[in-house]
Amino acid sequence: MVIFKHTADLRSWLSEDRTRGGKLGFVPTMGALHPGHISLVEEARKVCDLVACSIFVNPTQFNNPSDLEKYPVTIESDIGMLTRAGTDVLFLPGVADIYPGGTSSLPHYDLGFLETVLEGKYRPGHFQGVCQVVHLLLDAVRPDLLFMGQKDYQQCMVIARLIELKQLPVKLVVMPTLREADGLAMSSRNMRLGPADRALAPRIHRVLSGIKERLRPGSLLELQNWGVSELEADGFRVDYVSISDARTLEPLETWDGSRPLVALVAAFLGEVRLIDNLVLTGE
Ligand code: AMP
């Protein structure tokens, strides 16, 4: 695996048609890698001729400074995992490389309704930061395929919108959420959970599965309230439990029995904020 720290070096290496006319796959990450990240690399390895990853903890997408400060960094283990998974090139830029002009006058993206609900509502500015960094990374790497995880359901929709807005020549591939044996969605933030909170964390998935089992046409409010009270009873501080239209993320209060649905949760255990989701209907 070749590692580049500067955009210009990465660009000049990639400009030599490393794929020999084939496909370049890209997996952007913030590091502290786990098997969920690696599943994206493995899929890229299967369907692409060259696989690029990036590790960059993007300051502009953290609305909470202490979350940024405490974001886990495990670079040596990350490099080992990426190498074993067959990554060809790792981009490891610093903040000055990604944002040479600073971060105060970055572009604004019109994300419309998507930015007003769920993560958009609870983490103001977060998706602007995500778009800023992904747009710059896509411009540096220029992949054919971009691999992202359904774990960040709304983020995948935001990136689809970015691709459409900017007419970027890349195809988004969304991969399923990898979970621990007890159902907890793998996440870099899980490393920050103490043993007691780690034991509670799988309850999020249990609540999502409970919502799926109990889902019936009609009012959805009781079901969402049930989810909130289950989590609160377990000591979570809940930002939201939402049953939303799977295509638009519009939070729904009633269901006609046919609209595609996704349930999404964001909740804190102590200082650690966890998110997860489950598609409730069809694919
Ligand atoms: P992050 O490093 O958290 O920014 O994540 C980098 C990419 O990995 C994003 O596209 C995530 O959606 C994806 N990802 C994170 N956790 C998982 C998981 N448990 N399963 C599959 N993909 C994941």
Q: Which atom of ligand 1 is nearest to the CA of 155?
A: 12
pLDDT at position 19 is 85
Taking only the tens of pLDDT, the chain with its 283 residues reads 999 999 999 999 999 988 888 999 999 999 999 999 999 999 999 999 999 999 999 999 999 999 999 999 999 999 999 999 999 999 999 999 999 999 999 999 999 999 999 999 999 999 999 999 999 999 999 999 999 999 999 999 999 999 999 999 999 999 999 999 999 999 999 999 999 999 999 999 999 999 999 999 999 999 999 999 999 999 999 999 999 999 999 999 999 999 999 999 999 999 999 999 999 997 5
Atom from ligand 1 closest to the CA of residue 30: 2
Give the model's pLDDT for residue 283.
53
Task: Give the model's pLDDT for residue 253.
Answer: 97
Catalytic residues: 37
31 φ/ψ sector (left φ>0, alpha ψ -120 to 50, else beta): left
Using the mean position of ligand 1's atoms as its centre, give its distance from the Cα of residue 87 in Å. 16
Tell me the CA–centroid distance for residue 191 and ligand 1, in Å: 14
For the Cβ of 43 lying below 6 angstroms from any atom of ligand 1, the answer is: no
Task: For residue 2, give both structure tokens.
Answer: 């070749």
- Distance between CA atoms of 129 and 61, rounded to whole angstroms? 4
| Confidence (pLDDT) at 222 | 98
Position 162, amino acid: L
Distance of CA 178 from the midpoint of ligand 1 (Å): 9
